[in-house]
Structure 1
Amino acid sequence: MSMLSKTISCPFCGHPVHMDIEVTDEDQDYIEDCSNCCNPIHLKVHKDILHHSVQIFVDAEDEQYY
C-alpha cells in the first residue's frame, strides 16, 4: 500500500484540489468534497499491476451512466 499525491480539477468549479490517494491492490470508488465549492467529487482508483501504473478517474458525483 502506498500514497499518491495528485492535484485534480473539480468537475464543478474547475478549482485545483490537492488529494492524497491511498493506492491498494483493489480498485477504489469513493467521494471527496471539493475544498472550494463543497460539491462531491467522485473518484475511482485502479492499480494496473501489469503496466505498473495507477489510473484515477474523476467525475461529478451526480453524473449518470447508461
Structure 2
Amino acid sequence: MSYQRETLIQCPYCGETLDVLVDDSSGSQTYYEDCSVCCSPILFLLTEDEFGEIQVEIKRDDE
C-alpha cells in the first residue's frame, strides 16, 4: 500500500511555493522532480529518523 502526503516546499531555483506529493511508504530515498513553475530539477532527500518519521530535504541539482 502506497502512502502519499502533501508537503509544501519552496523551489530552490525560482522561490515559488509548491504543493507536492511525497511517497513516504518506502523509507529513505532520493529522487528528482521538476519544479512545476520553472521546470528546474529539484533533488528530494527523504530520510527516516529514529522515530520512523520521514523528513524531507530539498536541494538544487548543483548543490
Deviations 1:3-43 (A, max 9, x none): 11101000001001111011124311000100111100000
After superposing on structure 2, the runs of 4+ consecutive aligned residues of structure 1 that deviate more than 3 Å are none
Whether contact under 8 Å (1:24, 1:47) holds in the other structure is no
What percentage of aligned pairs have identical amino acids?
31
SS at match of 1:35: coil
Unaligned runs of 5+ in 1: none
Paired positions, count: 62
| 1-structure distance, mates of 2:35, 2:4 | 20
Normalising by structure 2, what TM-score? 0.84
User: How many angstroms does 1:52 deviate by?
Assistant: 3.8
Whether contact under 8 Å (2:28, 2:47) holds in the other structure is yes
Whether contact under 8 Å (2:41, 2:60) holds in the other structure is yes
What's the RMSD between the two structures over aligned residues? 1.4
* Rg larger for: 1
